Structure 1
Amino acid sequence: MILCVGLATVDLVYRVDRMPGVDEKAQARSAEVAAGGPAANAAVTAAALGAPVTLVTAIGAHPLGALIRSDLEASGVRVVDAARHSDALPPISTVVVVDGTGQRTIVSRNAGDLAYGVPEEGLPPAAVTLVDGHHPVLATAAARSATRLVVDAGSWRPVFHDIFPYAEVVACSATFRHPAAENRPATESHRSTIAGIDAATATAIGAPTVVVTHGPDPVAWFSGPRSGTVPVPPVEAVDTAGAGDAFHGALTHALWTNAPLETALREAIRVAGVRVRHSGARNWLSAL
């Protein structure tokens, strides 16, 4: 089984012809409500690829929480709710996607300062565990008990200090900055500077394997003394929302099948490419 631990949100997704300006009203071409969040989207992806998946998150008893729970369960994800006795509003994200380019703007109210402990029944055993750093108490407990740990490090979170030592693979975005990483001098070439930042990030993280994604540009990887890149085939992007989450879910699924690192990265790139070619939160899954 794959265990995902982290954020689940109510996503309100609007598609517009162009991004509205300040104080401007816009009529959306379409609207959609679905479960979102890094761990939740990764769980849905891994389940769509055929793995048994459990998501441990914090949803609560608020009526909006039922939207999250029903969507995840319909997608084949078993949900363990660490906040089932709370009536607080669940995390909510508003996603505005520009029709034709796939560019998006996201406004979120995530977990905030709310802290939830490990459910009374504990965390289920899993062959591979993915954490996204949200809900730090849950994330730390999952990291410590994981057999194999994948970390979705989209942006720096203090809890990563406690999580990274347990990680087998840390997958971060190009915008991720570890406080201990040193940037390369600006006088170097752009390509050299990017490579230097990636290498500094990998060194600061210190995990056996570190992966750095760059959107449509090659994915860099660092594994001990070895490093390399995997190209990203060009695709026509229609909707980029959740593409990174799909990448992480597919990477975790591939590692669950014991695929070698570069094979797993190619599969994750393929799945993320499918995601961006389709509009909507769930329509793309049928194309896998």
Structure 2
Amino acid sequence: MNAPASESTTPVGVFVGLATLDVIHRVSAAPAPNQKITSSTQFVAAGGPAANAAVTFAALGGTAVLVTALGDDPVAALVKADLLTFGVRVIDAAEGSMRSVPVSAVTVIESTGDRSVVSADAVNSDASPPADLEAVVAGADVVLVDGHHPLIACAAAEHAAARVTTSVVDAGRWKPVMSELIPHATDVVCSADFRIPGTSDTATTAAAIVGSGVRTVVTTHGGEPVEWWSEGFSGSVDVEPVAVVDTLGAGDAFHGAYAYYSTQTDAVPERIAGAAHVAALRCSVIGPRAWLGRLSTDTLHYP
């Protein structure tokens, strides 16, 4: 069992990447062209891969720090306030400037929990790393990057590698910066759709990542077993069945929980089991935040 590298017994996670404002509507069916429909429920919350992972890490009992670029736009104030409410400290690399904060329009189908998202992102962001980034990373037990705000992501990954800190890449989809981030990572957590250019499936993608020197590769497949490859070993971990009502942010929850459990155990299957349990819980509760209240009793000491 790993002990946190920080002085406190509470693990510290630094999450680098995208924060958005999500406007979420639950609907009975997706709207047709030129159709207006009324949602049954709506939510407004901070979103984005790194932000959601940080919220999950904090809910599990960790100290979560999000490094992003928001600026002083009124929408940014909403994002920061929501994240603070859920225990995430935000380091804003764009503080003092006016930027356009990405806003995501999200629909969730009531009968299946499937979500559709239209959003701007920060893949091509030119935001520079904050001056204290090296010190922030030095205090971390785990660092996660999602490939958004690439200049900040690369700097964080390099600082983590220099300190031999666990460094997780959220590989939801291929982004050009991935070719720079992956060689610095200890762990790469991939969606089933993620492909290294020139590879054809999850197995060849995993082989390419392992071949680049990454210690552990994990690939999720929704409700199907999670595959993993680590230091010459491989296997899979079953995902518990749940009644799925809302899949928004489930992958982000998996990543945040995986980062948390990486500070608790060296055993890859145990990390995955904990993360899969958290992601399943996320899918079983409607709304972006209500599910967090169940973590303290259902998952804090899991696995």
Is TM-score (shorter-chain normalized) higher than 0.5?
Answer: yes
Question: Retained in 2: the 8 A contact 1:2–1:256?
Answer: no
- Aligned residue in 2 for 1:129: 143
Whole-angstrom distance in 1 between the partners of 2:141 and 2:123: 30
Q: Matched residue of 2:133: which SS?
A: coil
Q: Matched residue of 1:211: which SS?
A: strand
Instruction: Say if 2:186 is the partner of 1:179.
Output: no
Question: Retained in 1: the 8 A contact 2:124–2:149?
Answer: no
Deviates further, 220-229 or 239-248: 220-229
- Aligned residue in 1 for 2:27: 16
Q: Matched residue of 1:119: which SS?
A: coil
Q: How many pairs align?
A: 274
- Aligned residue in 1 for 2:301: none
Whole-angstrom distance in 1 between the partners of 2:50 and 2:218: 17
How far did 1:113 drift? 3.4
Whole-angstrom distance in 1 between the partners of 2:86 and 2:266: 24
One-letter amino acid of the structure 2 residue matched with residue 136 of structure 1 = P
Task: Spell out, residue by residue over 1:103-156, the C-alpha distance to the aligned partner (whole angstroms, 9 max, x if none).
Answer: 111001112533111112234021110000111001100100111101100000
Gaps of 5+ in 2: 1-11, 296-303
Q: Matched residue of 2:127: which SS?
A: coil
One-letter amino acid of the structure 2 residue matched with residue 118 of structure 1 = P
The TM-score, its normalising length taken from structure 2, stands at 0.88
Instruction: Say if 2:297 is the partner of 1:270.
Output: no
- Aligned residue in 1 for 2:236: 229
- Residue in structure 2 matching 1:101, options 112, 116, 127: 112
Gaps of 5+ in 1: 184-196
Instruction: Say if 2:221 is the partner of 1:214.
Output: yes
- Aligned residue in 2 for 1:257: 264
Question: Identity over the aligned pairs, expressed in percent?
Answer: 47
Q: Matched residue of 2:113: which SS?
A: coil
Dislocated runs of 4+, deviation >6 Å = none
- Aligned residue in 2 for 1:205: 209
Task: Spell out, residue by residue over 1:19-58, the C-alpha distance to the aligned partner (whole angstroms, 9 max, x if none).
Answer: 1111111101111110000000000000000001110001
Instruction: Say if 2:60 is the partner of 1:46.
Output: no
- Residue in structure 1 matching 2:36, options 14, 18, 25: 25
How far did 1:259 drift? 4.3
Instruction: Say if 2:155 is the partner of 1:141.
Output: yes
Question: Retained in 1: the 8 A contact 2:194–2:202?
Answer: no
Q: CA distance change for structure 1 residues 75 and 259 in 2, over 3 Å: closer, same or farther? A: farther
One-letter amino acid of the structure 2 residue matched with residue 63 of structure 1 = P
Question: Retained in 1: the 8 A contact 2:123–2:150?
Answer: no
One-letter amino acid of the structure 1 residue matched with residue 183 of structure 2 = P
Whole-angstrom distance in 1 between the partners of 2:24 and 2:95: 25
Whole-angstrom distance in 2 between the partners of 1:223 and 1:113: 31
CA-atom RMSD in angstroms: 1.1
